[in-house]
């Protein structure tokens, strides 16, 4: 049985994730050429946000419009989600009214419950545990910006700073792809020492190492900057984010600054051609300098933000029940879209609504 929901990239094989990337690239190419494949006509997406969002919300909403569907935004406090009505009951109702659901939640176990009781597929728009839609957009960005002569599995990514859910997600996707992953961060804020407060009972590193066994990737977690040498991609995230509201923000500067700030010197230490990535939003002058963020040669963070939409389009098509005339629509698109969808439908056959 194909996996119904997109909650965690560890639920998918490397090949399946790369198929999602192929789908994203095929639709990106077609839409950039002015041909919009209306693969989600009359489909409705429900977007639950328990946290604020710029990129994720806009990407989901515009992706649905691009593909002929519609998106409904439910902001914090606007619908039932575990209050008067149980999550199970809300999920049952939403799953019958909508074709697909995305949720950005305070607690990962809530998106898991939503998926369990909803007939419609559920996509995880970020929890305190992981950020899998960001992972796919980041994979697309890396694949589009591979160093000359390298494949994705030959690359190294160095994450600088706090063990946020984005850091953990990068460990997951890099280890799945067979890449070398490094977290360069202070003790107390590393993946291995409880740096991420997760409301689930999981051994984060064990998941990454299991991926490495299959893929040949490596994981290094350290406070020694030597480990970032040779990184093709240098990635950072805020030191004080959405899920840190109960912590004193100012104390973060004492822990991370200046050792873990991404500067041009750090970029050059990683390698003369290393590229900068950031999930955004950034706190300029804290985890990264303006010089790095705004460097047109080194910084990929703006392309990375745009790629959220391209990759989310692919997720919506991959997980939504396909239209009966999907193949005709794909054939009318520019490029390889029909071939890519044929391959995906071999293992994700048509689902009747």
Phi-psi region of 230 (alpha: psi -120 to 50; beta: other; left: phi over 0): left
Instruction: Specify the residue, 54 or 325, whose C-beta has the smaller distance to ligand CP.
Output: 54
Q: Which of 53, 90, 127, 236 binds ligand CP (CB under 6 A)?
A: 53
Distance CA 274, CA 95 (A): 44
Name the one range near ligand CP by CB under 6 A: 54-62, 139-147, 269-277, 317-325. Answer: 54-62
319 φ, ψ (degrees, to nearest 5): -95, -25
Name the one range near ligand CP by CB under 6 A: 256-264, 278-286, 287-295, 320-328. Answer: 278-286
Task: Indicate if 108 belongs to the active site.
Answer: no
Task: Indicate if 104 belongs to the active site.
Answer: yes
Distance CA 82, CA 86 (A): 5
Q: Contacts with ligand CP in 127-146 (CB under 6 A)? A: 134
Task: Indicate if 183 belongs to the active site.
Answer: no
Strands 275-278 and 233-236: parallel
Q: Which of 279, 301, 312, 315 binds ligand CP (CB under 6 A)?
A: 279
Smallest gap from Cβ 194 to ligand CP, in A, equals: 23
Strand order across the 218-222 sheet = 218-222, 180-184, 156-160, 233-236, 275-278
Task: Indicate if 237 belongs to the active site.
Answer: yes
Distance CA 25, CA 197 (A): 34
Smallest gap from Cβ 62 to ligand CP, in A, equals: 13
Calculate the CA dihedral of residues 22, 281, 172, 162 and round it to 10 degrees.
Answer: 160
302 makes contact with ligand CP (CB under 6 A): no
Number of DSSP helices (H) and strands (E) in the chain, helices first: 13, 9
Smallest gap from Cβ 279 to ligand CP, in A, equals: 4
169 makes contact with ligand CP (CB under 6 A): no
Reduced to 3 states (helix: H, G, I; strand: E, B; else coil), residue 49 is: strand
Task: Indicate if 131 belongs to the active site.
Answer: yes
Instruction: Specify the residue, 279 or 338, whose C-beta has the smaller distance to ligand CP.
Output: 279
Q: Which of 2, 41, 42, 54 binds ligand CP (CB under 6 A)?
A: 54
Residues near ligand CP (CB under 6 A), total:
9
Task: Indicate if 279 belongs to the active site.
Answer: yes
Instruction: Specify the residue, 104 or 189, whose C-beta has the smaller distance to ligand CP.
Output: 104
313 makes contact with ligand CP (CB under 6 A): no
Distance CA 56, CA 94 (A): 20
Distance CA 116, CA 103 (A): 13
Smallest gap from Cβ 53 to ligand CP, in A, equals: 3
Q: Where do the H-state alpha helices sit in the chain? A: 14-32, 55-66, 87-97, 108-117, 132-144, 165-177, 204-215, 251-256, 264-270, 290-293, 301-319, 326-332, 337-347
Q: Which of 55, 176, 189, 310 binds ligand CP (CB under 6 A)?
A: 55
Instruction: Specify the residue, 102 or 212, whose C-beta has the smaller distance to ligand CP.
Output: 102
List of residues contacting ligand CP (CB under 6 A) = 53-56, 126, 134, 279-281
Please identify every residue annotated as catalytic.
104, 131, 134, 237, 279, 308
């Amino acid at each position: 049985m194909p996996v119904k929901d997109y909650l965690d990239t560890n639920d998918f094989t490397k090949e399946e994730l790369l198929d999602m990337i192929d789908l994203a690239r095929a639709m990106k190419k077609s839409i950039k050429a002015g041909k919009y494949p209306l693969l989600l006509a009359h489909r409705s997406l429900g977007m639950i946000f328990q946290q604020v969002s710029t990129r994720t919300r806009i990407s989901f909403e515009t992706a649905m419009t691009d593909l002929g569907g519609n998106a409904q935004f439910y902001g914090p406090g606007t619908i039932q989600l575990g209050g008067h009505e149980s999550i199970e009951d809300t999920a049952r109702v939403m799953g019958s009214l909508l074709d697909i659901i995305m949720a950005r939640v305070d607690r990962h176990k809530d998106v898991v419950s939503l998926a369990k009781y909803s007939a419609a597929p559920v996509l995880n728009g970020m929890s305190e545990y992981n950020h899998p839609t960001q992972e796919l957009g980041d994979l697309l960005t890396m694949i589009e910006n591979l160093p000359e002569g390298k494949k994705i599995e030959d690359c190294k990514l160095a994450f600088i700073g706090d063990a946020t859910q984005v850091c953990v997600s990068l460990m997951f996707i890099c280890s799945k792809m067979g890449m070398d992953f490094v977290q360069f961060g202070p003790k107390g804020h590393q993946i291995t020492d409880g740096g991420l407060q997760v409301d689930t009972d999981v051994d984060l590193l064990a998941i990454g190492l299991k991926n490495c066994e299959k893929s040949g990737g490596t994981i290094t977690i350290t406070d020694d900057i030597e480990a970032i040498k040779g990184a093709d991609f240098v990635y950072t995230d805020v030191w004080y984010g959405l899920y840190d509201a109960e912590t004193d923000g100012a104390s973060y500067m004492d822990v991370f600054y200046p050792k873990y700030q991404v500067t041009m010197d750090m970029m050059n230490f990683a390698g003369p051609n290393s590229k900068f990535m950031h999930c955004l939003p950034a706190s300029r002058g804290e985890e990264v300098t303006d010089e790095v963020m705004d460097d047109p040669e080194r910084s990929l963070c703006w392309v990375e933000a745009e790629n959220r939409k391209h990759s989310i389009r692919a997720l919506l098509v991959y997980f939504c029940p396909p239209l009966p005339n999907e193949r005709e629509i794909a054939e009318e698109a520019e490029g390889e879209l029909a071939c890519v969808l044929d391959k995906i439908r071999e293992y994700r056959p048509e689902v009747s609504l």
